[in-house]
Structures are given as C-alpha cells and as structure tokens.
Structure 1
Amino acid sequence: MVAVIIYYLLKFLIGTRGWQILTGIGIVLSLWFFAKLLKLKTVVWIFDNLWTVGIFFLIVLFQPEIRNALAKLGEKGFLGERGFYFNKNSRNSKKVIDEVIRASTFLAEKRIGALIIFERFTKLEHYLEGNYVKLDALVSLELIINIFEPKTPLHDGAIVIRNNRIAYAKCVLPLTINTDIPSHLGTRHRAGIGITEETDAVALIVSEERGTISLAYDGILYSDLDNLTLKKLLMEFLGIETNKRNITKDLREIIRDKYSDYNPLRKVNKWKR
C-alpha cells in the first residue's frame, strides 16, 4: 500500500516544479545522512532542529501541487469523473468552438501567433501574471483576430475564455519547466503546456513561425492539428454534450493513427514535428 502511494505521488510530481523541490529535499537528506555518518555534531544538530518545522515548509513549498491535486480530486470525485460542461447551453458552446477554430485557421494562414485558454473547473485568476485586461466580451472571429493582430494593444499574451465569453486578454502564463520540450517550441507553446500542467484548462496555440495549430491538455501537447481533429479534441476535453460514444471512438482512431505511442494511462508529453 505504501509503495502504491509513493508510486502515484512520484507520478504526479514528475515534470512539475514540485519534482525539482523534491530533488532538492533529497539532496538535503543526503547531506544530513553523511553528516551523521561523519559525526558532524553541529551540522546534525542544525538538521535535527529543522525537521520540527519542516512540515510547514513542505506545505508552503508544495502549495501549487497540493492545490492542483485537490482540484483534480474535486473534478473526478470519489465516484469517478463527473464530466464537465463548458456551458449549460451546448449550442452556444459549439458556436464558440466554431468561432475559435475559424479564427485560429485564419491566424495560422497569416502566420500570426495566438494563445487561447479555455477555463474549466479551476479558476485561472491566481495563475495569470502581468497587467492582464478584463473584457467579458462575446467570442467572435473578428474580435479574436483583432486581439492578436500585431501592434494592437492586446496582442501580446493569451486570452482566457470563461462561460463562452472572453474574460481576459493580454495574459502572461506560467511556463512549463519540462526540459524535454523540443527547441523549436517557443514561448507560446511553453506557456500553453505550463498552464495545463498546473490547472485543468485547455490551451490552443497558433504557431507564428510554422503556421500550425496545437492543443495542450493535462501537460500533453497535440501538434499540427487539422480543423476536424482540433474540433473533436476540443469537444472531448471540454465535455460538450454530443454523441459521446462516437467522439470516443473517433478519438481512439485519431490517437492510433497520429499518436501511435500515446498512452492515456500515463502522463507523458507527446511532441510531433
């Protein structure tokens, strides 16, 4: 039982900031062990007194990971995943996705970079950095294109869609610390992956350099997507009401054909050139 708990704890932490902190704690523990082995009394005394307050330091250091774990527990619940409705009005949600895909396709053709975040259960205010702008605007092709048009005031950063409306623009997001990311992926991709590692959000990234559209969810990047695949993945990740059986079947075919080594039971990063 203990081994199972340790396994899932390590599986959850690998690839996050908590993993680096855990590595640092391991180094400190090694120093403490060698200090006792070499009978360095002063160093051992310091370490022995640190352990009394160490639990509070751990809670502070692992606050983002603890918050993320509790959020995922609340999302799935004790009786399995509850599912997510992007909005109670499924028709409006589908129209929003259609507008986003149309805008993303136009931006990709024009080689204009964009980062669009769909908020799910976890509120994103605490993860936004910089002087972001509150909008509360309807999602439309024209507005999205205008926001990301170069040299406009709001083009630098991400937009956040909440309840079928653009809630924020010019958002700076936390970057992933994953060192395995290919060098050709820029700041937008790293920000999109980073926000999906720390929250349950879905990130759509338009590459300015390559003119391609990617999707990030749960720290996994789906690259070079066509419009049909993009729409099906968005519908699945956002849990919009539709024929779930057909979508799941189609997704299996998509993943098998385009992501043959994708394993849904293991949190890995899939990069595709």
Structure 2
Amino acid sequence: MLNFIPKVTFWDIVDILVVAFLTYRVFIYLSQTRAVQILIGLMVVLLLSAVAKLFHLYTLSFIFNNLLTIGIFALIVIFQPEIRRILARIGEKQFGIFTSEEEAERVIEEIVRACATMSEDRIGALIVVEREVNLDNYVESGTFIDGKVSKELLVTLFWPGTPLHDGATIIRKDRIYKSGAFLPLTLNPNLPQTVGTRHRAAIGITEETDAVAVVVSEETGAISISYSGKLIKNLDPSKLKKVLKGLLVKRVERRKFNFDLLRKSDEEV
C-alpha cells in the first residue's frame, strides 16, 4: 500500500541537512550585505514567472524566462565580491601567523603599547596585520617600509603632519611592510553613521580577507579591532592584547582565546 513512498536512508537525511545548512548560511551571509535587495528582486521575478505560467500568460512567461537566463550571468557579475568573500572564507585556514611565542609576544606587545600611547594622545591610527591571505591585491598604493615592528616607529608613522599618517600601516609577519596605504571601504549598509572612514576601512579589509585590523579613533582615542567583518569597540590595552593573541598566535595561545569576544560583545557593530 505504501510502496509509492520512496525509501529514505540515513545518507539522504544527511544530504538534506547539509544542503539546508549551507543554504541557510549563504542566506544569512547575504542578508548582511547589499546583495539582499538584489536577492529579493530575483525572488519577485521568479514568483511572477510562476504566476505567468500558471495562468498561461505566454508573452510574460517568455519575457521572464529570458530574464532568468540572462540573470544567471548577471548575478555572477553582481555578486562577484560576495562570491569571492565566501570562497575566501572556505579556503581560510583559521591559523595564526606566529609559531614562536617569543616572536608573537614582541610584535603584539609593540602594537598594544603603540595603541595605548596613541589612544592617550588622540592620534588616529589604522594598523592591519596580514594573516594567511596576501594583502597585495587589496592594498592600494602605500610606501614600502620594511621596518621592525616597534612602538616608536608605529607612533611616528601615525603622528599628525607626517606624510603617511592618513593611510593604513600593514604588518607582515614581524615587519612593518607598508604605510600610508588605502584600503577598500565596507559597503555594509547597516553600519551607523557614527562609524568613520578608518573604521569602515578596517571592516572592509577584514570582509575581503582574513586580516586583523586595529583602529585608534582620532576623536575619542577609543581602541577598536576588526576581524571577519565585525568591529569591536572600546577595548582597553589588556583586552586588545588578549584578542590579538587569540587571532595571531598558533597552538596553545589560540586555544586560550575566548571567541565570545567577537560574538557577544556589547560594543560589537
């Protein structure tokens, strides 16, 4: 009597759950970008196409069918930044960049000391630490430095009136790679108007890559950190140090890091 019901195996259930999870994650990701409006428009076109077929409106069906055919290619172009980010996240190794605890301690300590000084003196700064994804394709211009990471050099680079103070400083491994670099700004429409250009650049580069960006506000002196497109504001030096260790150090230190700082902070935007 029930022979017409297909037999459902364990792997069929696994298959359905995996597809459902991936679809859910893609929709959640797209809902946080400008692509959500385009996605809604596409759904409206699909709905109208179904209605046209249901009521045998042949001319409308022809138009919508051609729109959908062209739309597949258009979507690849329109969603190109989002597709690139998703693929970058899939390929991301989720590792730190330092294997030596001593090397990590020194670089992180210099960054924290520099940020603490610039915070007190209200010196605006944007420091980007490169991880697995090379930043050369994302960083426009900038002056090649190749200097050892130190508090003194970082503060000097961002000191008001110096030629490089307006751009971002890029740290690669234990060296200051470039300074005065311009970064892509985030296109996230949900950010409040109070988020300034430095913070938008920090979010932008961490949306595109796995880099970590530290921002010091020129107006308030507040220290913020951005990773994976999230921004956590108002960090004191000790908390900044803890977050940097968690994101940049491999092995033992990484396991100690509490990632709830990136998800549950009241200051996250």
Q: TM-score under structure 2 normalisation?
A: 0.80
Indicate if the aligned counterparts of 1:86 and 1:164 stay in contact, CA closer than 8 A. Answer: no
Residue 32 (structure 1) shift: 5.3
User: Is residue 205 of structure 1 aligned with residue 250 of structure 2?
Assistant: no
C-alpha RMSD of the superposition: 2.9
Aligned with residue 116 of structure 1, among 127, 130, 138: 127
User: Is residue 103 of structure 1 aligned with residue 103 of structure 2?
Assistant: no
When residues 70 and 224 of structure 1 are mapped into structure 2, their CA distance, relative to the original with a 3 A threshold, is same
User: Is residue 133 of structure 1 aligned with residue 135 of structure 2?
Assistant: no
CA–CA distance in structure 2, aligned partners of residues 35 and 126 of structure 1:
46
Partner in structure 2 of residue 57 of structure 1: 74
Residue 55 (structure 1) shift: 2.7
Residue 243 (structure 1) shift: 4.2
User: Is residue 6 of structure 1 aligned with residue 23 of structure 2?
Assistant: yes
| SS state at 2:176 partner | strand
Partner in structure 2 of residue 168 of structure 1: 178
When residues 5 and 240 of structure 1 are mapped into structure 2, their CA distance, relative to the original with a 3 A threshold, is closer
Partner in structure 1 of residue 264 of structure 2: 262
| SS state at 2:202 partner | helix
Residue 7 (structure 1) shift: 1.1
When residues 55 and 269 of structure 1 are mapped into structure 2, their CA distance, relative to the original with a 3 A threshold, is farther
User: Is residue 159 of structure 1 aligned with residue 169 of structure 2?
Assistant: yes
Residue 106 (structure 1) shift: 0.9
Q: Structure 1: give runs of 5+ residues left out of the alignment.
A: 77-82
Aligned with residue 70 of structure 1, among 87, 90, 93: 87
Partner in structure 2 of residue 80 of structure 1: none
Q: Which of these two proteins has the greater Rg computed from alpha carbons?
A: 2
Instruction: Tell me the alpha carbon deviations over residues 154-192 of structure 1, each in whole angstroms, 9 at most, x when there is no partner.
Output: 111111111221222222222223333233321111211
Matches within 5 A, 1:39-54: 39=57, 41=59, 44-54=61-71
CA–CA distance in structure 1, aligned partners of residues 210 and 35 of structure 2:
17
Instruction: Tell me the alpha carbon deviations over residues 12-69 of structure 1, each in whole angstroms, 9 at most, x when there is no partner.
Output: 222224334434434554665677779482x654443343343332222222222222
Indicate if the aligned counterparts of 1:90 and 1:241 stay in contact, CA closer than 8 A. Answer: no
Q: Residue 235 of structure 2 aligns to which amino acid in structure 1?
A: L
When residues 111 and 88 of structure 1 are mapped into structure 2, their CA distance, relative to the original with a 3 A threshold, is same
Residue 100 (structure 1) shift: 0.9
CA–CA distance in structure 1, aligned partners of residues 37 and 133 of structure 2:
24
| SS state at 1:180 partner | coil
Instruction: Tell me the alpha carbon deviations over residues 252-273 of structure 1, each in whole angstroms, 9 at most, x when there is no partner.
Output: 7x84xxx8x818xxxx9824xx
| SS state at 1:126 partner | coil
CA–CA distance in structure 1, aligned partners of residues 160 and 44 of structure 2:
46
| SS state at 1:235 partner | helix
**% identical aligned pairs:** 45
Aligned length: 251
CA–CA distance in structure 2, aligned partners of residues 151 and 30 of structure 1:
57
Residue 152 (structure 1) shift: 1.2
User: Is residue 92 of structure 1 aligned with residue 103 of structure 2?
Assistant: yes
Q: Residue 223 of structure 2 aligns to which amino acid in structure 1?
A: I
Indicate if the aligned counterparts of 1:16 and 1:197 stay in contact, CA closer than 8 A. Answer: no
